[in-house]
Amino acid sequence: MLSKRRKFLKLLPYTMAGVLAYPAAKFIFFSENTDEKFWISLKNIKDGITKIKKHNLFIYKNGDKVEVFNAHCTHMGCILNFYKEKQRFICPCHHSNFTIDGHRIKGPAQRDLDKITFKIENKKLFIG
Ligand code: FES
């Protein structure tokens, strides 16, 4: 009869494969295209975080300062959640944390959120 430790060690590779495979598969098979160009009226964007689910983007606005982030975690691509009460993005897969303006707080992600290029013209935010 195997000890509990041996059983654990025997199952560990399968557990690790599952932990790594899920976010990779989710990124490859279920991620939406963020390359599409579109625009949003600035009057529809309040200060704070606005999630554009269709394009997997977050818009951060603080007065005149605007940033647009890819909603995919920079670790393995899971879609981040924003927690208003904590003012943080937290990855549901391996719990990387990012500030409201996209800076990495703790890993396993090793870099800040990816910024998306945009321009503002006639009170509209053009993304892409
Ligand atoms: S995908 Fe691993 S922390 Fe986000």
The per-residue pLDDT for range 15-66, each reduced to its tens digit, is: 666 666 655 555 544 444 445 688 888 888 889 999 988 889 999 999 888 9
Residue 109 has pLDDT above 70, yes or no: yes
How much of the chain exceeds pLDDT 70, in percent?
80
Q: Please tell me the predicted confidence (pLDDT) of residue 59.
A: 92
Q: Is residue 121 part of a domain?
A: yes
Report the range of poorest mean pLDDT among 27-41, 77-91, 105-119. Answer: 27-41
Distance (Å) from CA 107 to ligand 1 centroid? 8
Residues forming a β-bridge with 65: 62
116 or 4: which carries more pLDDT confidence? Answer: 116
121: containing domain:
38-127
Ligand 1 contact via 78 beta carbon (within 6 Å): yes
Which CATH number fits the domain that encloses residue 79? Answer: 2.102.10.10
The answer to whether position 89 is within a domain reads yes
Q: 11 CA distance to ligand 1 centroid (A)?
A: 22
Q: Domain count of the chain? A: 1
Has residue 17 been placed in a domain?
Answer: no
82 in any annotated domain:
yes
Indicate whether this model's pTM tops 0.85: no
Percent of the chain with pLDDT over 90: 48
Strand stretches in 42-117, DSSP E: 48-52, 57-62, 65-70, 81-83, 88-90, 97-99, 104-106
Q: Is the CB of 74 under 6 A from ligand 1?
A: no
Closest CA to 86 of 96, 97, 95, 75: 97
Mutate to test the pocket of ligand 1, among 56, 82, 94 (most ligand atoms within 8 A of CB): 94
